[in-house]
Chain A
């Protein structure tokens, strides 16, 4: 029997399997940031240990950083302390840090790929659930807790139980106005916020093959939102073309050698998955969420499901609570509903391609007076590219505010928050209660749908604007 892509990479990284227990899994690359690493550094220090393989850990500051005036000291003292602690820990333990002010600084899941640190066939972890993003390069990449960060510091390994495998096959052409964010929101709405728990997902099919690396990253990024341990896509020419020449990508002979290895990274034709799903891409429409978990999403033209149509009592209560928090009515349409904020950013949709999509739509248009629009590039490099391509002019003329790189209003750990009771169309990944600020109401959507709302001030079917 053939092997899945997941099995090939997993098997190549198992140091040993504990009888009746998890496997000792070797980790090639470990990303850290300021929020989930301090306790792990303290932990190894308490044990009197140093980092086992410090060169395989790369750090950046992203969650807490301000997105205005990054050259000034951070005003929030607790945030400053955490960022300072990261600097001190990295210096002390010999970890490469792309901190504030460094040209490579940015959201950890944006910089890893853009610097070529993320490469096919690797195992990658980070104390952050959106580590699944890196799976777009054909890696086993997943989020871990701080105790596991400490394990990697101490041994370059984590103990993991092998997950089941699921393949989601998506075939056919996408409708105009539909982008990769809509694909993943569609899948999560279809199988629910827990539909892939216990699984590692491979995305496959002609639709996926036709996507850019940025678009593939958006899909893998949100794998965790349906509970999956991670998501992955087999590397192909698109992957290799993206990687070639990047700062940390192999060069010369090393590149040729790696290419030979990477070409074997696919699921064999006779590989068997524990579960398979088939999706017809032409059925996917621009999506938007109305609830307080990413599974509560609908096509933007559709109506919120009727409460009485939900048979399961637990699910119905869950939705009732969600609608109460969102102040939305069961059975209502979201189209035409005013929004006060548009946030374009986060590890899901802050890459150059996302910002090009937005720029294309808003070029020559202006934002609606009633909306505040914030664009937060995922990294310093993305910001530089935005400037080089003149997209910043388009955004400024449209009345959008361009900020500096960081996680920003995706989770509101810095000052970028949505006020209580107000609605925000966000290109981020989570619409949980209070995620963008206490009482904030988040509608998740694609960069196109978000940009459309920025122009009209209301929830809009972007297809109306690209006719």
Chain B
């Protein structure tokens, strides 16, 4: 996993609520056996007419040139539904490093963190403020300080991040390395249980 310390970028606004992982990456693209290449199918059915890459839907934000950046800003309950980690892989592969929303589904939140994609939980009012910014405005996310700032106005909110997960993100550590290091404790637990 890549370490993630701060992000300074313009953002892509997707004000829809309850964006489920079937929209982020439709089931028909889950037939791969590697983690790569999901970005081109990110939001596939919202992005293209009739599954045709030569016919981008003009009203979908990923097809609007004025919006770009490594931060996706979405309506509440982002990532609900299926546990497919392919959703986090697709966002990462497309180039997103963080998703900002007022509310995330639990499994998506874990999957994102396990791939170094930062879920940033902000208040509903802060979220609406971001949606009202112009496309060129940038956001600054500081992982160590746990803050998100609207660069133009200096308005800032702090966000929650589990201290353990924060250490992982800042250093690029993953949970598997940690769990393997705890093997003797796990074996002891097993013998005590038996």
Residues of chain A touching chain B, judged by Cβ–Cβ distance below 8 Å, are 15-16, 18, 20-22, 24, 26, 35-36, 38-39, 42-43, 47, 49, 52, 63-64, 76, 78-79, 81-82, 85, 127-129, 143-148, 150-151, 154-157, 159, 161, 163, 193-194, 197-198, 224-225, 227, 229, 293, 295, 314-315, 317-318, 321, 411-413, 430, 432-435, 438
A56 to B147, CA, bound (A): 42
User: Can you name 27 A-B residue pairings with CB atoms under 8 Å?
Assistant: A20-B163, A20-B164, A21-B165, A35-B31, A36-B83, A38-B34, A42-B33, A52-B186, A85-B33, A128-B82, A128-B83, A143-B107, A146-B85, A150-B176, A156-B190, A157-B179, A159-B164, A198-B106, A227-B105, A314-B15, A315-B17, A321-B16, A413-B28, A432-B23, A434-B23, A435-B27, A438-B45
Q: Which residues of A contact B179 (CB under 8 A)?
A: 24, 151, 154-155, 157, 159
Q: How far is the CB of B142 from chain A (nearest CB, A)?
A: 19
A15 touches B115 (CB 8 A): no
With A21-B164, A145-B114, A430-B22 as known contacts, state yes or no: A16 contacts B33, CB within 8 Å: no
Q: Which residue of B lies closest to A44 (CB)?
A: B176
Q: Which residues of B contact A432 (CB under 8 A)?
A: 20, 22-23, 81
Q: Which residues of A contact B13 (CB under 8 A)?
A: none
Q: Which 4 A-B pairs have the closest CB atoms?
A: A21-B164, A145-B85, A145-B111, A78-B31
- Name which of B61-69, B72-80, B151-159 contacts chain A: B72-80
A189 to B10, CA, bound (A): 37
B178 touches A129 (CB 8 A): no
A129 touches B82 (CB 8 A): yes
A148 touches B110 (CB 8 A): yes
A194 to B27, CA, bound (A): 22
- Contacts A15-B182, A430-B81, A434-B26 given; 14 further ones with Cβ under 8 A? A21-B165, A26-B190, A38-B33, A64-B31, A76-B31, A148-B114, A151-B176, A155-B186, A193-B77, A295-B18, A315-B17, A318-B75, A432-B22, A438-B26
A317 to B22, CA, bound (A): 19
A127 touches B80 (CB 8 A): no
Chain B residues within 8 Å of chain A by Cβ, number: 55
Q: Which residues of B contact A22 (CB under 8 A)?
A: 162, 164-165
A293 touches B80 (CB 8 A): yes
| 0/1 interface trace, chain B 145-178, chain A, CB 8 Å (1 if under) | 0000000000000000011110000000011101
A378 to B185, CA, bound (A): 39
A82 to B31, CA, bound (A): 6
B186 touches A24 (CB 8 A): yes
A412 to B82, CA, bound (A): 14
Q: Which residues of A contact B174 (CB under 8 A)?
A: 147
B99-129 contacts to A, CB under 8 A, are: 103, 105-107, 110-111, 114-115
B45 touches A434 (CB 8 A): yes
Does B88 belong to the interface (CB within 8 Å)? yes
A337 to B107, CA, bound (A): 36
With A145-B88, A197-B106 as known contacts, state yes or no: A413 contacts B114, CB within 8 Å: no
A381 to B116, CA, bound (A): 42
Q: How far is the CB of B1 from chain A (nearest CB, A)?
A: 9
A21 to B168, CA, bound (A): 11
Among candidates A127, A129, A157, A198, residue contacting B81 with C-beta atoms closer than 8 Å? A129
Q: Which residues of A contact B76 (CB under 8 A)?
A: 194, 314
Q: Which residues of A contact B33 (CB under 8 A)?
A: 38-39, 42, 81-82, 85
Does B137 belong to the interface (CB within 8 Å)? no
B85 touches A147 (CB 8 A): yes
Does B84 belong to the interface (CB within 8 Å)? yes
Q: How far is the CB of A169 from chain B (nearest CB, A)?
A: 23
Does B53 belong to the interface (CB within 8 Å)? no
Q: Which residues of B contact A79 (CB under 8 A)?
A: 31
Q: How far is the CB of B165 from chain A (nearest CB, A)?
A: 7
